[in-house]
Structure 1
Amino acid sequence: MIENRPGLNLLAHLTLMLGVVVVALPVWVAFVASTHTATDFMSGTIPMWPGPHLLENYGRMLDSGVSTSGMPPVGTMMLNSLIMALLIACGKIAISITSAFAIVYFRFPLRRMAFWCIFITLMLPVEVRIVPTFQVVADLGMLNSYAGLSVPLIASATATFLFRQVFLTIPDELTEAARIDGAGPMKFFRDILLPLSRTNIAALFVILFIYGWNQYLWPLLITTSSDYYTIVAGIKRMADAVDGLPQWHLVMATAMLAMLPPVAVVIGMQRLFVKGLVETEK
């Protein structure tokens, strides 16, 4: 029986409200900063209410960018980040789900060792192997390209492990029934496993899309042409003004625009995302 304790309910709600304020306050400050001019931040006090330059600042970033920093318009950088995030998310899911399918449903020598070799790569993220990875990408001529931005980040041991656990929960009777009906491996994979894994794929897509969108170090390292700047690396370049003070109002406007696609993906796929994380039975 769940007891109704008004005091505890009030405390829980106050704690949640405090958490929302702590999380939302930096976002609010960034939004307010994006609606003012650069001189409003030279007085030593930070405005807490929006200013009159919202349309001017956002329109400038979307239209022409910051020419003094060599930055392209925000739309170009957001398109590059979108392509990179989609390639990483879709590539990780495609490779992980097929490798998990092979490990679970095919019997071949050293099958378990193959899985653990994949899993051990968790100890080698791109930051650890960034020098040899950069050398390989440079030797293959993939600098300043979408392939160079996404291919080194596609392999995912975590997604392979999650899909393996999902496939292990599927009853063996379903596999036997498909075999009796004459379904081959790929038909079983396409008609049975993929529909059963739909919510897990959606949950992983949200996580991996945000992972790809927020990539900072790798795009900053391999892109020297402004045609391939991503939005996160672009914010860093805007903040590192060489010939003058950073235009923080424009940096904050870019940061607010950079938040929109991940937020849209999370909101649009919220139901499948939550279901994919909490679902335990097929």
Structure 2
Amino acid sequence: MTTGPVLSVRNIRRSFGEHAALDGVSLDVAEGEVVAVIGPSGSGKSTLVRCVHQLEPIDSGAMYLDGDLLGYEHSGAGLRPLRPRQVAEQRRRMGMVFQQFQLFPHWTVERNISEAQVRVHGRSQEQARERTLELLAKVGLTEKAAAYSRQLSGGQQQRVAIARALATRPRIMLLDEPTSALDPELVDEVLTVIRDLAAAGLTMIIVTHEIAFALEVADRFVFMDRGRVVEQGPVADVLGDGTSDRLRSFLSRYTQQRDTAREARFRV
């Protein structure tokens, strides 16, 4: 660990054909900070966290976790890509929660959370089970340890996925639209877990369209559009008088939806 940021992203670029998904993105995330990444669909939000987790390669730029260069190592005067095993070792220091839950359907909840602890991190079965039950209690699913994913609601499956990502005590959690695959009535149970993690001081990047939730839990907003960071800063600053026209336009849709929902409640 270093005294600098937990995560540092420097001028990264990622293109798919002629489409620049990330066009020179830079970002620092401090210890214990919760950063909410917002923006319209196709703005590069998910690509950003996928690149940080090294699920997508970057075309240029650099990323550092606790000062360690991600994905590459110095070789003479240049850089060379890390071997897959080295990349996997770096990835273990980060937790990733996807839009889809990606649980193994033929494993129980307990095994979904404990398997990597045993096979990858070398913990004993007893240690892994103890950590797994601790995490299931944290996400409110102690009674589901022996269940299979088909026996769980979408919200419960996502809470298991969060517990799995936490199992290795990651330096940073990356959450990519963690509620987007859920029915509306199941969203709150997942947001409650994330809210508790934020209150506990876990370092997180949350890609989300849940603006009200992001306002509540985030220390800082990063607003992306067309592969670039258009605006970022503390929540109060981003939503203040200095907000750019582009961000105001984006947020106006949220305020209109919020006001419409309030009016509907008053009419009932």
Q: Sort the TM-score into its range (normalised by shorter chain).
A: under 0.3
Q: Which protein has the bigger helix share?
A: 1
Task: Provide the TM-score with structure 2 as the length reference.
Answer: 0.23
Higher RCO (C-alpha 8 Å, min separation 6) = 1
Name the structure with the higher strand share: 2
TM-score normalised per structure 1: 0.23
Which structure has the larger Rg?
1
